[in-house]
Amino acid sequence: MLDAPKARHSILNDRHRALGSDLSTSWNGMPVPQNYSTCPYEETAAVRYRAGLFDVSALKMINVTGQDATAFLNHLLTSDVSKAAPGDSHISNIVNADGAIIDDVLVYVDGPNQYRVSHGSGSFEEAAASAQSKFAVSVKHDDDVHILSLQGPRAIEILAAHTPMNLGGLGYFQHQKTTLFGKPVAIARGGYSAERGYEVYCSSADARHVWDSILGAGKPRGVMAASWSCLDIIRVEGGLLFFPFDMPHGDTTPWEVRADWSVDLTKPDFVGKQALIAKKGKERSFITGIEVWHSETVQPLSKITANGKEVGVVTSSTYSQHLMKSLAMAQIDPAFTKLGTELVVQDGGARNAIVVRMPFYDPMRLRTHPVPERT
């Protein structure tokens, strides 16, 4: 059975306190640096023009191994993990028998029947525990791993000089074991920033050394530590979803968050497959981007109306100083999601809004998917 999780703390908490965080905010059972003494907008500028370093160790990492590991994950997930090669990773969803999203995960393929599953505050572990007895599989927490995420256009030059691997040859959503600043790590290309970035997986014993070394190497290039408030700004600018906040129905389907790409209906049966087939084309709402004519952030869960009729709800929002716009992602009735549709956000007053293309920042994903790398 899945081992019980332990109380979790980042070994980097002393670094976060030194940077001004009181660590009063927790997520996923771990205190996180919601804010530093620096301004989140300064940190955002660092990510967009240079690079910012985040501690995202609050993500849970689960090792899934054994002769039935692939079959086990294919039973639980909406994607087909058998189509991914060692060194690949991909985002997937878990739905319940009714087709409702109960977690989103990032699956790292380390080898045949060897996986690492990174997840947030959803129900992957509960789903795994209920299915585990049917498979020859080991499912174990890795409470030692620390995840340091360097995001921004200078991330590659900062890291590449201190690792023997060919970092420039690492494709998007690929990962590789190597060393960094002399310590054993795994480096994955990806992140939650809408920029080219890398996530460094290391042990708790090495985390302080790697953190300090990245910031030391990056200081001449304007790199700085970045808080979770910054992370929320850049992920909204990049149109990146956050479970469960962008799934407000309580039984939101992948279709309603436009995650069709995460569902492989061609693979053999998986939990919720028949419900997803039945619900496709019957979406109550779609995740949609809107710009709000307001100089501040509108509040999540604010109602959205059109001609006096309630047609949606704000799910995630930010005021982007980078774009100088108040932005929101929302779940909106399909009839009101056409680009250019005029809406009103009811946020302590009627705020005019308009449906726009999402992501708001870099809509062609040129930062994360440069044209020379596209096939």
Backbone φ and ψ of 288, nearest 5°: -145, 145
SS (H, E, C) 320-371: ECCCCEEEEEEEECHHHCCCCCEEEEECCCEEEEEEECCCCCCCCCCCCCCH
> Do 189 and 317 lie in a common domain?
no
For residue 47, give its domain range. 13-57+145-237
Place of tokens 């693979």: 267
- Residue 49 three-state SS: helix
Q: Is the pLDDT of residue 321 over 80?
A: yes
> Do 296 and 214 lie in a common domain?
no
User: What is residue 360's predicted lDDT score, i.e. its pLDDT?
Assistant: 98
Q: Binning pLDDT at 50, 70 and 90, where does residue 33 land?
A: very high
User: What is residue 6's predicted lDDT score, i.e. its pLDDT?
Assistant: 64
Rounded to whole angstroms, the Cα distance separating 179 from 191 reads 20
The answer for 66, left when phi > 0, alpha when psi is -120 to 50, beta otherwise, is: left
> Do 311 and 188 lie in a common domain?
no
* CA 333 and chain centroid, separation: 25
Q: What are 226-258's pLDDT values in tens digits? A: 999 999 999 999 999 999 999 999 999 999 999
Q: Is residue 149 part of a domain?
A: yes
Q: Is the pLDDT of residue 81 over 80?
A: yes
Backbone φ and ψ of 349, nearest 5°: 160, 165
User: What is residue 30's predicted lDDT score, i.e. its pLDDT?
Assistant: 96
Looking up residue 361, the CATH number of its domain turns out to be 2.40.30.110
Are the C-beta atoms of residues 61 and 28 closer than 8 Å to each other? Answer: no
Q: Is the pLDDT of residue 2 over 60?
A: no
Q: Is residue 201 part of a domain?
A: yes
> Do 289 and 375 lie in a common domain?
yes
> Do 298 and 374 lie in a common domain?
yes
List beta partners, residue 178: 185
> Do 220 and 162 lie in a common domain?
yes
Handedness of CA 192, 198, 203, 208 (dihedral sign): negative
Q: Binning pLDDT at 50, 70 and 90, where does residue 209 land?
A: very high
User: What is residue 38's predicted lDDT score, i.e. its pLDDT?
Assistant: 98
Q: Please tell me the total count of domains within the chain.
A: 2
SS (H, E, C) 256-292: HHCCHHHCCCCCCCCCCHHHHHHHCCCCCCEEEEEEE
Q: Is residue 80 part of a domain?
A: no
User: What is residue 5's predicted lDDT score, i.e. its pLDDT?
Assistant: 54
User: What is residue 169's predicted lDDT score, i.e. its pLDDT?
Assistant: 96
> Do 149 and 43 lie in a common domain?
yes
> Do 220 and 339 lie in a common domain?
no
Q: Is residue 86 part of a domain?
A: no
- Residue 99 three-state SS: coil
Are the C-beta atoms of residues 201 and 145 closer than 8 Å to each other? Answer: yes
User: What is residue 375's predicted lDDT score, i.e. its pLDDT?
Assistant: 74
Q: Is residue 315 part of a domain?
A: yes
DSSP symbols for 102-164: EEEEEEEEEETTEEEEEE-SSSHHHHHHHHGGGSS-EEEE--S-EEEEEESTTHHHHHHTT-S
Q: For residue 293, count other CB atoms closer than 10 A to its CB.
A: 12
Are the C-beta atoms of residues 234 and 357 closer than 8 Å to each other? Answer: no
Average pLDDT of the residues of the chain: 96
Q: Is residue 216 part of a domain?
A: yes
> Do 220 and 297 lie in a common domain?
no
Q: Is residue 22 part of a domain?
A: yes
Q: What are 156-168's pLDDT values in tens digits? A: 999 999 999 999 9
> Do 170 and 48 lie in a common domain?
yes
The answer for 250, left when phi > 0, alpha when psi is -120 to 50, beta otherwise, is: left
> Do 48 and 188 lie in a common domain?
yes
Looking up residue 193, the CATH number of its domain turns out to be 3.30.1360.120
Q: Is residue 306 part of a domain?
A: yes
| pTM tops 0.85 | yes
User: What is residue 7's predicted lDDT score, i.e. its pLDDT?
Assistant: 76
Backbone φ and ψ of 75, nearest 5°: -70, -35
> Do 223 and 339 lie in a common domain?
no
- What percentage of the chain reaches a pLDDT higher than 90? 97
